Amino acid sequence: MISEIIKRILYLIPVTLAVIFITFIVIYSIPGNPAEVILDLEATKENVAALEKEMGLDQPLYVQYVIYINKLLHGNLGYSYRTRRSIAGEVRSYYPNTIILAVFALVLAVVIGGIVGILSALRPNSYLDFAFRGFSVLGISVPEFWFGFLLILFFAVFLRWFPSEGKHGISSCFLPALTLSFSAIGTIARLLRTSLLEIFHEPYIRAARAKGASNVMIVFRHALKNAMIPAITVLGFMMGRFLGGAVVVETVFNWPGMGRLAVDAILGRDIPLIQATILILALTYIIINLMVDLLYLTLDPRIRFH
Amino acid sequence: MAEVLLEIKDLKVTFDSRFGVVKALNGIDLQIHKGESLGIVGESGSGKSVTALSLLRLLSPNATVSAQSIMFEGENLLQKSENEMLKIRGRKISMIFQDASSSLNPVLTVGRQVEEAFILHSQFAKKARREKLIDILRLVGIPDPTLNMKGYPHQFSGGMNQRIMIAIAISCNPSLMIADEPTTALDVTTQAQILDLLKHLIDEKQTSLLMITHDFGIVKELCERVCVMYGGEILEEGYAKDVLFSPFHPYTQGLINCIPKVESGDQTLRGIPGEAAKGTNLPSGCVFHPRCEKVKEICVEEKPALVTTGNHKVRCFRFDTNKRDRWKQ
Amino acid sequence: MELFNRIKGNLGNKTLFAGMAIIAILLFCAIFPNWIAMYDPHAQNLENVLQSVSINHLLGTDEFGRDVLSRLIYGTRITLAIIFVSVLTGGFIGCLFGILAGYIGKFVDTIIMRLMDIPLAFPGVLLSLAAIQIVGKGVVGIIIATSFYAIPQFARLVRVCILSARESFYVQGAQAIGESHISIIWRYILPNIWAPTLVLATLRCAIVVQIAAALSFLGLGVQPPTPEWGAMIAAGKMYLVRSPHLTLFPGLAITITVFGFNLLGDALRDIMDVKL
């Protein structure tokens, strides 16, 4: 087992290095001279040269790369070219918001997805089941940003139950979290339904019934424990998606999180910020995926014990 | 004769499937006495497992069960509610299955699964349950129970898992234990050990046993009486000695002839010609007639009743005093 | 081919039917928009701005007086074009990689797979965003950006199929009698990858619609005045409260399209018994 864990961690090192390299290269992949791009309208020859020197663009490539890595290791993410503020500082204030949203969304996905999935499996092919299944497919079909608008229209404007944007305390979390989790709810519900239905046909379920276990016990003590294994891994990946890619939702709801920071950076061509946000989000995603992988190893006793 | 523990009268089971209605059981009558071991022998598809599962209402939802009565310990099981059945399963009637390794939940420890029987049916506190658990694991022959109860089914061999299943089954001292081909998936040595264990346990606790098998050898070892099933019906029934050594029904004779005998030096392997009757397309008249070498016209037209000669019952016109003449024609 | 027969035999399957019906309607809108659309999608009519649902304009008009329904119908063209090109290119390249990795194996396999892991290390939308950065906005940008993520998915899938097919007896037998590699791939391996690839492609279409719409919504995708559903939602955002129909209907169009592809993919998966 330990060897498996180590193997997986080692496996990631080349990928991580590649990711870091890619975020570095991003500067040069944007057509044109990066300094010119940043300065845009103010790009006079002197300004460009000065900026190039400041950004270290006049150095050879590998030197720049080394400087880049060095800065990263010291936690120096540079300065945003639009706001002139320290990026590390920005990240420190924006990142936690993304985490809050992600956790909230995860809870919603588990609770609602769980209920829908279990109920569907308990009464397969009933009207309720068809309704739930349709709902689940709808959940993964609806475009996130549009769903967000629908929710805003209905709950914020029409009913006035929730604020329509920004971060103003707990109630403002709800709509963005719901939007973010909507497709996850559909995915979890479908997955649980399929797993549970398969499990219900397994011999050990019949044997448990022969023991005198009630239906409730069968579902919760026996079936769910087995269904949980694939479900938790999927939840883990969803969490990765929430943390790493809540870009659209954060934009729609004007939520001050990392996703919005990234979009603002890209739209504003703020190259250091682009580099930093993409790097952080990608690393987050990699680490979460690793954790999910490891979690899976520990959950299934068949794998845990040889 | 000891008192009757279980009496099934006219049990019929059908399944609704894509292929139409499947007749699995066509009027079964059974009796088991206290402390007695009854074997049910038959080919795959004869309905032996269905009989057992219908007792405990463990059949799939597309099954329709009907019977005149199923009397267990003086009460009709057919009239019991689901909640009442919960108290019977595992407690008064318990069941062990063919493939023990797949009949145990892979993500729960073995100890937990055995303990569950105590949790469901007794009021013991945690500590007392633990002690009982260790006792019963020891009783069925699991070495080092305190350690092994924390193990998972995939870590044990098939024989061990079957012992665990047996532990679950006898933990609450049931009056009747049903064993559905418990040794089919095991190798011969382990098979012998498990059968020994079973014999020992039911002798000690005076438990009645309903042993479902296709192996006459097991019947000889464990059972006092035996039923032979085919096509959803009982074709012959009686004391094991009688049925094994002087079988009346041509089907039983055929089955016993199939067993290769080492001593006789006989090289030919014998079988019963034809295919087993299918529940979707049962033959008319006697359900065995298409494969019977003694078949006559009456066998195709009418269904023979189960007639009794002494302690031996058989469903064949040759033994039916009323119809025998018609058979001879 | 066996595929068509299976589909024909399963037309009673509601999911399959619904999915195919939706896609058929979309295809029709894309190929013959002028037959059903009543107006020119670019025709502005500044006197009729922001009109709600009416008989003349079944789904209302937008901020330039253009008929929403017509724009939606013409938008189908762009959407489907993006999807098909993206999935086909991404799928083709991915399959190629997968076949190479799976069939040649060992060193080549490790390198290719490691390479494939890199795009997968980025969360979906983010990868497309970054790619757009490099490639530039517009339709071409979206196509390239969305196919990036598809390549490793197809590569992985195909590789797994090939690995299991390679171990099968009939392939080993063919190799033993000296059949050429190309012949083996063509005759034995490719038929095995048809089914899962098709399912993945269908499901991939669903995702690409979403991502393309999201990118256009962020302003990074299709540029105005081309009628693309995501862009229409972005434009309609400003009038959300006053004229919700501007955001409502394009979103509905997206939802229905994705729904259709998902249904189709699900149905195909069940019919061809693929474990994805």
Contact B107 A213 (CB under 8 A): no
pLDDT digits 0-9 by tens, B101-115: 999 999 999 999 999
CB contact residues (below 8 A), chain A span 78-137, against chain C: 137
Cα separation of C114 and C100, whole Å? 14
The predicted pLDDT at position B289 comes to 84
The angle at the Cα of A193, spanning A192 to A197, to the nearest 5 degrees, equals 115
Q: Is C244 or B244 the better-scoring residue by pLDDT?
A: B244
Q: Amino acid identity of A136?
A: S
Q: What is the mean pLDDT of residues C195-200?
A: 86
Strand ranges (E), C134-265: none
Interface partners of chain C (CB pairs < 8 Å, 3 or more) are A
Contact A301 B94 (CB under 8 A): no
pLDDT digits 0-9 by tens, B146-186: 999 999 999 999 899 999 999 999 998 999 999 999 988 88
Cα separation of C20 and B291, whole Å? 51
Are B281 and B213 a contacting pair, CB within 8 Å?
A: no
The strand pair at B176-180 and B93-96 is best described as parallel
Share of chain C above pLDDT 70, in %: 94
Give the DSSP per-residue string, A173-229. Answer: HHHHHHHHHHHHHHHHHHHHHHHHHHHHTSHHHHHHHHTT--HHHIIIIIIHHHHHH
**HEC assignment per residue over chain B:** CCCEEEEEEEEEEEEEECCEEEEEEEEEEEEEECCCEEEEECCCCCCHHHHHHHHCCCCCCCEEEECCEEEECCEEHHHCCHHHHHHHECCCEEEECCCHHHHCCCCCCHHHHHHHHHHHHCCCCHHHHHHHHHHHHHHCCCCCHHHHCCCCHHHCCHHHHHHHHHHHHHCCCCCEEEEECCCCCCCHHHHHHHHHHHHHHHHHHCCEEEEEECCHHHHHHHCCEEEEEECCEEEEEEEHHHHHHCCCCHHHHHHHHHCCCCCCCCCCCCCCCCCCCCCCCCCCCCCCHHHCCCCCHHHHHCCCCCEEECCEEECCHHHCCCCHHHHHC
Share of chain A above pLDDT 70, in %: 92
Structure tokens at A179: 């939007």
Cα separation of B178 and B50, whole Å? 12
The total of other beta-carbon atoms located within 10 Å of residue A292's CB is 19
The predicted pLDDT at position B167 comes to 93
Q: Where are the domains of chain A?
A: 97-305
Instruction: Tally the residues of chain B.
Output: 329
The predicted pLDDT at position A246 comes to 84
Chain B residues lying within 8 Å of A301, measured CB to CB: 106-107, 152, 154
- Least Cα separation, residue A134 to chain B (angstroms): 25
Share of chain A above pLDDT 90, in %: 15
Segment holding A256, helix H or strand E: none
pLDDT digits 0-9 by tens, C70-89: 888 888 888 888 889 999 99
- Asked if B168 reaches chain A (Cβ–Cβ under 8 Å), the answer is yes
Q: Residue C38 to residues A1, A98, C51, C78: CA-CA distances in angstroms?
A: 66, 45, 16, 18
pLDDT band, very low/low/confident/very high, at B9 (cuts 50, 70, 90): very high
CB contact residues (below 8 A), chain A span 270-299, against chain C: 274, 278, 281-282, 285-286, 289
Contact C251 A274 (CB under 8 A): no
Closest partner CB to B58 (pick from A204, A209, A225): A209
The predicted pLDDT at position C105 comes to 73
pLDDT mean across residues, chain C? 81
Cα separation of A186 and A190, whole Å? 6
Q: What is the rounded end-to-end Cα distance, in angstroms, of chain A?
A: 7
Q: Check whether the bond before C119 is cis (ω within 30° of 0).
A: no
Closest partner CB to A203 (pick from B56, B102, B121): B102
Nearest chain A residue (CA) to B174: A211
State the angle between helix axes of C190-217 and C245-271 in degrees (0 to 180), rounded to the nearest 10: 170
The predicted pLDDT at position B239 comes to 93
Chain A residues lying within 8 Å of B95, measured CB to CB: 207, 210
- Asked if A300 reaches chain B (Cβ–Cβ under 8 Å), the answer is yes
Cα separation of C63 and C71, whole Å? 13
Under 8 Å CB-to-CB from C193, ≥6 apart: which residues?
A: C95, C98, C99, C157, C158, C161, C162, C165
pLDDT band, very low/low/confident/very high, at B271 (cuts 50, 70, 90): confident
Share of chain B above pLDDT 70, in %: 98
Q: What is the mean pLDDT of residues B76-92?
A: 90
Place of tokens 């649902």: C53
The total of other beta-carbon atoms located within 10 Å of residue B44's CB is 9
pLDDT band, very low/low/confident/very high, at A209 (cuts 50, 70, 90): very high
Structure tokens at C167: 């171990």
Q: What is the mean pLDDT of residues C13-24?
A: 83
The strand pair at B312-314 and B233-239 is best described as antiparallel
The predicted pLDDT at position B12 comes to 92
pLDDT digits 0-9 by tens, A259-304: 888 888 877 777 778 888 888 888 888 888 888 888 888 888 887 7
The predicted pLDDT at position A34 comes to 66
The predicted pLDDT at position B41 comes to 92
Contact B152 A212 (CB under 8 A): no
- Least Cα separation, residue C208 to chain A (angstroms): 11
- Asked if B272 reaches chain A (Cβ–Cβ under 8 Å), the answer is no
Share of chain B above pLDDT 90, in %: 40
Q: Is the predicted pLDDT of residue A65 greater than 70, yes or no?
A: yes
pLDDT digits 0-9 by tens, A113-138: 999 999 999 888 888 898 998 888 88
Chain A residues lying within 8 Å of B91, measured CB to CB: 212
Under 8 Å CB-to-CB from C114, ≥6 apart: which residues?
A: A14, A15
Closest CA to A140 of A284, A218, A238, A261: A238
Lowest mean pLDDT among A93-102, C24-33, C127-136: C127-136
Q: Is the predicted pLDDT of residue A226 greater than 80, yes or no?
A: yes
Chain B residues lying within 8 Å of A230, measured CB to CB: none
Are B153 and B163 a contacting pair, CB within 8 Å?
A: no
Cα separation of B243 and B247, whole Å? 5
Chain B residues lying within 8 Å of A214, measured CB to CB: 86
Q: Residue B95 to residues B90, B172, B184: CA-CA distances in angstroms?
A: 7, 12, 15
Instruction: Tally the residues of chain A.
Output: 306
Cα separation of A20 and B124, whole Å? 60
Cα dihedral sign, A295-A296-A302-A303: negative
Chain C residues lying within 8 Å of A285, measured CB to CB: 121-123
The predicted pLDDT at position B226 comes to 94
Q: What is the mean pLDDT of residues A151-172?
A: 79
- Asked if A216 reaches chain B (Cβ–Cβ under 8 Å), the answer is no
Against a cut of 0.80, is the pTM above it?
Answer: yes
- Least Cα separation, residue B57 to chain A (angstroms): 9
pLDDT mean across residues, chain A? 83
The predicted pLDDT at position C229 comes to 85
Q: What is the mean pLDDT of residues A58-64?
A: 74
Q: Is C68 or A117 the better-scoring residue by pLDDT?
A: A117
pLDDT digits 0-9 by tens, B59-68: 888 889 999 9
Chain C residues lying within 8 Å of A151, measured CB to CB: none
- Asked if B155 reaches chain A (Cβ–Cβ under 8 Å), the answer is yes
pLDDT band, very low/low/confident/very high, at A42 (cuts 50, 70, 90): low
pLDDT digits 0-9 by tens, C90-106: 999 998 888 888 877 78
The predicted pLDDT at position B266 comes to 67
The predicted pLDDT at position B38 comes to 94
Closest partner CB to B103 (pick from A207, A300, A301): A207
The total of other beta-carbon atoms located within 10 Å of residue B19's CB is 11
Place of tokens 């797949």: B102
Interface with chain A: mutation pick from B103, B164, B170, highest number of A CBs within 10 Å: B103
Place of tokens 């549970």: A196
Are C227 and C39 a contacting pair, CB within 8 Å?
A: no
The predicted pLDDT at position B329 comes to 64
The strand pair at B4-17 and B69-72 is best described as antiparallel
Q: Is the predicted pLDDT of residue C3 greater than 70, yes or no?
A: no
Are B112 and B139 a contacting pair, CB within 8 Å?
A: no
> DSSP 3-state assignment of C97?
helix
Contact C233 A263 (CB under 8 A): no
Contact C125 A22 (CB under 8 A): no
Cα separation of B111 and B170, whole Å? 15
Radius of gyration over every alpha carbon of chain B, rounded to an integer in angstroms = 21
Segment holding A2, helix H or strand E: helix A2-29
pLDDT digits 0-9 by tens, B247-256: 888 888 888 8
Closest partner CB to A203 (pick from B89, B103, B116): B103
Q: Is the predicted pLDDT of residue C276 greater than 60, yes or no?
A: no
The predicted pLDDT at position C48 comes to 67
The predicted pLDDT at position B236 comes to 92
Cα separation of C83 and C206, whole Å? 8
- Asked if A207 reaches chain C (Cβ–Cβ under 8 Å), the answer is no
Identify the CATH class of A97-305. mainly alpha
- Asked if C202 reaches chain A (Cβ–Cβ under 8 Å), the answer is no
The angle at the Cα of B111, spanning B110 to B112, to the nearest 5 degrees, equals 90
The predicted pLDDT at position B238 comes to 92
Q: What is the mean pLDDT of residues B300-325?
A: 83
Q: What is the mean pLDDT of residues B268-293?
A: 81
- Asked if A203 reaches chain B (Cβ–Cβ under 8 Å), the answer is yes
Structure tokens at A121: 């499996």
pLDDT band, very low/low/confident/very high, at C231 (cuts 50, 70, 90): confident
Give the DSSP per-residue string, C161-188. Answer: HHHHHHTSHHHHHHHHTT--HHHHIIII
- Least Cα separation, residue A299 to chain B (angstroms): 9
The total of other beta-carbon atoms located within 10 Å of residue A176's CB is 29
pLDDT band, very low/low/confident/very high, at C244 (cuts 50, 70, 90): confident
Cα separation of B126 and C195, whole Å? 54
Cα separation of B21 and B24, whole Å? 9
Q: What is the mean pLDDT of residues A190-214?
A: 91
Q: Is C60 or B130 the better-scoring residue by pLDDT?
A: B130
Q: What is the mean pLDDT of residues A53-71?
A: 75
Cα separation of B294 and B285, whole Å? 14
Ramachandran assignment for B212, one of left (phi > 0), alpha (psi -120 to 50 degrees), beta (any other): beta
* A and B: number of Cβ contacts within 8 A: 74
Q: What is the mean pLDDT of residues A247-267?
A: 85
